[in-house]
Structure 1
Amino acid sequence: MKFENLRVVVTGASRHFGRALAIGFAHLGAEVYVSARTVELAERTRAEVMGSARDRIHAFGCDLSRPAEIREFARQVGEHTDRVDLLVNNGARWLDAVDLEDASDDAIVETIESTAGGTVLMVKHFLPLLRSSQRPDIVNMVAVRDAGGSSAAAAHEAFWTAKSAQAGFAEILSQRLRPSGVRVFSLYPPDFSTSDPRFAEWDGIKTDDAMRDEKLTTQALFECIVYAVEQPRDCFIRSFHFEPR
């Protein structure tokens, strides 16, 4: 198992890409610490993992819009391990596109806090564990900010505000942490297919439906992260940008 003994933290792991990351890394041999808004949602991901990989997933509740819960998540992970090798900031509050004035103030603030503020605080509180690693990496799942794309049309302005803040934080973080050996890289995908790593298409065996779907796949994004993490420590890959198909 190529990532045996790797310690990985994944936020927003109850569904879609976050769940796929958790399952994918667990099957590669990593110890994976996953969070979702509630521990029940995180446990659901753990329950879906097949075989011995299930024992390598540890579930936690953490609402990324609540600083106290982020601090507690970091504390609890620190009770399980003395280091974190890879932190994946995947969690983000989605807010559907409605007229700006129709979204509640609370929903707007929570969207920005969970995505932008949550990413900043996750890095802050996990940095001590990352610095205890000999191969520390941080991955930020951002997005293609394409005003003409389908995701842009479906998301509220507050969501894209938060994603822009997250991207700006990733840029400055990459520069400032590089001298200490902590690598930071970000993914900027367009809409992509959220194939499940438990199913055939995860292993490259495409179903008829998958063959008709020309979107970027979850597997491709996961392989980009694996590729970047496996590079020699003097190789800094700041970002992966993908063109919509």
Structure 2
Amino acid sequence: MRLKSTLLAVVATIAVVGQGAVAQGARGASGVDPKARVILITGSTDGLGREVARRAAATGAHVIVHGRNRERGLAVVEEIKSAGKGSAAFYPADLASLANVRAFADTILRHYPRIDVLVNNAGVWLREGPRQTSADGYEMTFAVNYLAGYLLTKMLLPRVMASAPSRIINVASQTQSPIDFTDVLQERTYAGQRAYSQSKLAQVMYTFDLARELEGKRVTVVALHPATLMDTHLVEAAGMSPRSTVDEGATALMHLIMDVNITHGAFYRGTIAGRANPQAYDEGARAQLKAVSEKLIGGK
């Protein structure tokens, strides 16, 4: 209860700050122009997410900015407000806690009667160092990169479906490794890079399953490798040298947000549909992943 109360208190403060960014015209109960698309982007206070939040707002959309850091979140809202087009509001949540994910989803559902685009972009890359665990005791990379988005999507899915035509975009990576279902959380043997690449394949596998489930429902579901080693803090913290720019990645992600001709159920490399790791096409493996996912979120 304390978690939800704190979350709502912060949101209330932010809503006041963000109101000036709402586009001109009649507003719905949530204070958002009813003609504007509502786009939720997790991990949008920095890097790729931040740039896409700015670009999405520039199309006239209302952007739900998400992150852990309130100061950074409000800064993104202020940037969008200053640009004079579109609107934004910031909602904080730590995706390393499933209780926090649930509270975040509940808050979004209370404030927004529609969600046109859900972008699961937030992630971590703990390439070096010892195994870390989430608030729920799960391996951190799997918990944040995959499981949080799985739960968030599940909770918001009825609202996204009711907003059709709508979209769900999972920001994954071309770096993918087969999942060892005997040690999904790497409790026996841990390697940071393997944890990252398995979490990214899990996102793609879930994308394929969800796309099949929503066939004919006017909800387009895709996964994306935006660009290789963009110049972000995530890449810098992993000790890697950038090979591409945030601008390139943002262009690819905006293509999936805006273009009317994207392919439902596809894995995109940039703006072109490509092939994922072979395990992503294994229905048995996807069924195993779903069973594991449901078990891990159960009661959390």
Which category describes the TM-score, using the shorter chain as reference length?
0.7 to 0.9
**Which among 59, 62, 84 is matched to residue 31 of structure 1?**
62
Report the alpha carbon displacement of residue 217 of structure 1 after superposing the two structures with TM. 3.5
Contact 1:74 1:126 in 2 (8 A): yes
Aligned to 2:281: none
Equivalent residue of 2:169, what SS?
A: strand
Q: Distance in 1 between matches of 2:122 and 2:256?
A: 20
Aligned to 2:267: 239
Query: Relative to structure 1, is the Cα distance of residues 220 and 104 closer, same or farther in structure 2, using a 3 angstrom cutoff?
Result: closer
Contact 2:231 2:245 in 1 (8 A): yes
Query: Relative to structure 1, is the Cα distance of residues 48 and 178 closer, same or farther in structure 2, using a 3 angstrom cutoff?
Result: same
Contact 2:131 2:139 in 1 (8 A): no
Contact 1:93 1:115 in 2 (8 A): yes
**Which among 216, 223, 231 is matched to residue 186 of structure 1?**
223
Question: What percentage of aligned pairs have identical amino acids?
Answer: 23
**Which among 56, 79, 83 is matched to residue 51 of structure 1?**
83
**Which among 104, 124, 139 is matched to residue 154 of structure 2?**
124
Q: Distance in 2 between matches of 1:183 and 1:234?
A: 8
Q: Distance in 2 between matches of 1:229 and 1:105?
A: 32
Aligned to 2:170: 140
**Which among 99, 116, 119 is matched to residue 88 of structure 1?**
119
Contact 1:8 1:31 in 2 (8 A): yes
User: Which deviations, in whole Å up to 9, do the C-alpha atoms of 1:89-122 show, x marking residues without a partner?
Assistant: 0001221324xxx334559712211111011011
Q: Distance in 1 between matches of 2:251 and 2:48?
A: 12
User: Which deviations, in whole Å up to 9, do the C-alpha atoms of 1:160-208 show, x marking residues without a partner?
Assistant: 22212112111211221223221111111322345xxxxxxxxxxxxxx
Report the alpha carbon displacement of residue 146 of structure 1 after superposing the two structures with TM. 6.8
1:114 matches 2:144: yes
Contact 1:92 1:114 in 2 (8 A): yes
Contact 2:211 2:265 in 1 (8 A): no
**Which among 199, 207, 220 is matched to residue 248 of structure 2?**
220
Aligned to 1:198: none
Give ranges in structure 2 of 5+ residues lacking alignment: 1-22, 24-34, 178-190, 233-241, 273-300
Query: Relative to structure 1, is the Cα distance of residues 79 and 11 closer, same or farther in structure 2, using a 3 angstrom cutoff?
Result: same
**Larger gyration radius, structure 1 or structure 2:** 2
TM-score (norm 1): 0.75
Q: Distance in 2 between matches of 1:14 and 1:36?
A: 6
Equivalent residue of 2:214, what SS?
A: helix
Equivalent residue of 1:8, what SS?
A: strand
Moved segments of 4+, more than 6 Å = none
1:163 matches 2:187: no
- The letter of the residue matching 1:238 is A
Aligned to 1:63: 94
Query: What count of residue pairs does the alignment treat as equivalent?
Result: 214
User: Which deviations, in whole Å up to 9, do the C-alpha atoms of 1:13-62 show, x marking residues without a partner?
Assistant: 12100111111111111000011124333223223333324x71110111
Query: Relative to structure 1, is the Cα distance of residues 120 and 145 closer, same or farther in structure 2, using a 3 angstrom cutoff?
Result: same
Query: Relative to structure 1, is the Cα distance of residues 33 and 157 closer, same or farther in structure 2, using a 3 angstrom cutoff?
Result: same
- The letter of the residue matching 1:66 is S
Contact 2:37 2:116 in 1 (8 A): yes
- The letter of the residue matching 2:36 is N
TM-score (norm 2): 0.62
